[in-house]
Every structure is written in structure tokens, then in C-alpha cells.
Amino acid sequence: MKVIPIASACTRTLHAAHAVVETGGAAPVAADAWRLVGAVESCFDGKDCLGVTIDSVKVGLFRIDGEIHALDDICTHGNALLSEGFLDGHEIECPLHAGLVDVRTGRGTTSPITRDTRCHEVRIDDGNLYVRLSR
């Protein structure tokens, strides 16, 4: 597994809030493998929302009361990045049309969001954040 640093310890890319995590190298990586995002504290850098791209999937990471939740970072209604929205309690507000998504479950809780979004597993090991994509 290889993490490609772009501009900081948590690998920012073209979007200021997005990180790129790639698994390059000679051996293919299993689809259900855990992917290293980076050290928890340097990734979030004092914020509670972070967007990363893992194996071409945009993933939003949300830190609430010491827990980290991961879900697809694209709003199912308006194609906006949820990680750029406003976090209020356990809900992220889509920055495009203000629909709310519960980051613990991926459930859309207000209109205009009518479809839930996919959640991913999160693991913290020795201060490092790992994500396993749901397929």
C-alpha cells in the first residue's frame, strides 16, 4: 500500500479538502482491503470534515465526539461534496441544496435528498486512520 503525499501529512490534492490515497505498486490490492489515510490528527488538522479519494472513490470522513464516520462524499441529490458542507451534530448539510445526511448511517434525513448514501468501515490503529470501502 502506498500513500502519495501531495501537500501535507494527510495528502491534499486539487480540492483543498480532498486527499488522495493510492495503492500503486506491483501487487494488486484486494477490493476489501483496509486503506491507510494517514495519522488522525494531521489528517483532520483541527477540522471535523475531510474529503479523500480512495481507489477513485470520493469518501467523506467526519469526526464527531471522538468517533470517525466514513461515507461516499457525493450528495445523492446534487453531486456536491458532502465534506464541504456544514456539520451539525451527526448530520452533514449538503453545501448545494441544504439537504441533511446522518453521517453515522448515510441516511438522508431531509429533502431534497431522497436516497441514502453508502457508508464505509473506519479503523484507527496506533493513531493512524484506515478505511475499508463498501462495495
Residue 58 backbone class (left: φ over 0; alpha: ψ -120 to 50; beta: rest): beta
What confidence tens digit (pLDDT) does each residue in 48-97 have? 999 999 999 999 999 999 899 999 999 998 889 999 999 999 999 999 99
pLDDT at 135: 83
* pLDDT at position 9 over 70: no
What confidence tens digit (pLDDT) does each residue in 83-96 have? 999 999 999 999 99
**pTM of model > 0.85:** no
Strand residues in the chain grouped as ranges (E): 18-21, 35-39, 49-54, 57-64, 67-72, 86-88, 91-93, 100-102, 119-125, 128-132
pLDDT at 85: 95
**Which domains does the chain possess?**
18-132 (2.102.10.10)
